[in-house]
C-alpha cells in the first residue's frame, strides 16, 4: 500500500477530516464504520469529482442497463489510465514496471465486472502504488508521501490519501460488513478520479 501511514490528524487537512473519517476509521481505531452512499458522495465532492461521480452512481444504480453503463465507464477509465501510464516519462530501467502496470488494468476491470469487490479494492491499491511510483518516483515510497502530495495540490493529496487507506478494506470485517453497493461506491471514488484526471 501507499506510504503516508501517519495518523489522520497528522496528514489530513482539517477541512477533510470529518468526511474522510466517515469512510476510513482513524488509525488505531477498531470501530467499524457504517458507510453510506451519502458519505462517498460527500467525499467525491471534496475530491473535485462530485458531479461526475453522482452521475455515474445514478447511471449504475438500479438501472436496467447497469452492465452497459458500467462497461462504458470502465472502458473510459481504462483508456484514460492507459494514456496516463504511457505518457509518463520514466527511466529506461522502469519501462518494464510501466508495462507491468498496463497489464494489471484489464484483470482489475474484470474483478469489478464480476463484483469481486474486496479483491478489486486490493488490486486497485496495488495499481495506485505503482502509478504513484511512475508519477513521483522514490518519493512515493517515503512515509511522508501523502503529506507531500497535499503540498502539491490539496485534491490530489486527498486522492493519494484515499489510496493509502484502501488497505483498510482488504479481507477485513469492514469489507464483509459493508453493503456491496457502498463498497463499489468506495472503489469507484478512485476509479472516477482517475477517469477524469
Q: What is the DSSP letter of 91?
A: -
C-alpha cell at 178: 459493508
> At 16, phi and psi to the nearest 5?
-105, -15
For the ranges 18-27, 112-121, 177-186, the lowest mean pLDDT is seen at: 18-27
C-alpha cell at 38: 451519502
Answer yes or no: is pLDDT of 177 > 80. no
For residue 3, which of 138, 111, 194 has the smallest C-alpha distance?
138
For 40-95, what is each residue's pLDDT tens digit?
Answer: 999 999 999 999 999 999 988 866 778 888 999 999 999 999 999 988 887 887 88
d(C-alpha 27, C-alpha 29), whole Å: 6
For 132-168, what is each residue's pLDDT tens digit?
Answer: 999 999 899 999 999 999 999 999 999 999 998 887 7
What is the mean predicted confidence (pLDDT) over 90-114?
A: 91
Strand, coil or helix: 170: coil
C-alpha cell at 87: 505518457
pLDDT score of 167 = 75
For 4-38, what is each residue's pLDDT tens digit?
Answer: 444 444 677 887 888 887 777 655 554 545 778 88
What is this structure's pTM? 0.87
Return all residues near 183 (Cβ < 8 A) that are at least 6 apart: 35, 117, 118, 121, 169, 175
Element (H, E) at 111: helix 95-113
Amino acid at each position: 500500500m501507499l506510504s503516508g501511514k501517519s495518523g489522520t490528524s497528522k496528514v489530513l487537512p482539517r477541512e477533510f477530516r470529518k468526511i474522510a473519517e466517515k469512510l476510513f476509521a482513524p488509525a488505531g481505531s477498531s470501530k467499524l464504520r457504517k458507510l453510506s452512499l451519502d458519505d462517498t458522495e460527500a467525499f467525491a465532492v471534496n475530491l473535485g469529482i462530485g458531479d461526475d461521480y453522482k452521475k455515474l452512481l445514478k447511471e449504475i444504480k438500479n438501472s436496467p442497463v447497469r452492465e452497459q453503463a458500467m462497461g462504458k465507464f470502465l472502458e473510459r477509465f481504462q483508456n484514460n489510465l492507459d494514456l496516463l501510464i504511457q505518457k509518463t516519462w520514466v527511466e529506461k530501467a522502469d519501462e518494464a514496471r510501466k508495462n507491468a502496470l498496463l497489464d494489471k488494468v484489464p484483470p482489475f476491470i474484470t474483478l469489478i465486472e464480476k463484483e469481486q469487490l474486496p479483491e478489486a479494492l486490493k488490486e486497485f491499491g496495488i495499481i495506485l502504488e505503482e502509478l504513484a511510483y511512475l508519477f513521483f518516483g522514490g518519493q512515493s515510497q517515503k512515509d511522508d508521501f501523502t503529506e507531500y502530495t497535499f503540498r502539491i495540490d490539496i485534491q490530489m493529496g486527498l486522492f493519494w490519501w484515499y489510496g493509502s487507506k484502501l488497505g483498510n478494506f482488504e479481507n477485513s470485517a469492514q469489507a464483509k460488513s459493508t453493503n456491496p453497493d457502498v463498497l463499489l461506491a468506495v472503489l469507484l471514488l478512485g476509479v472516477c478520479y482517475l477517469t477524469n484526471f
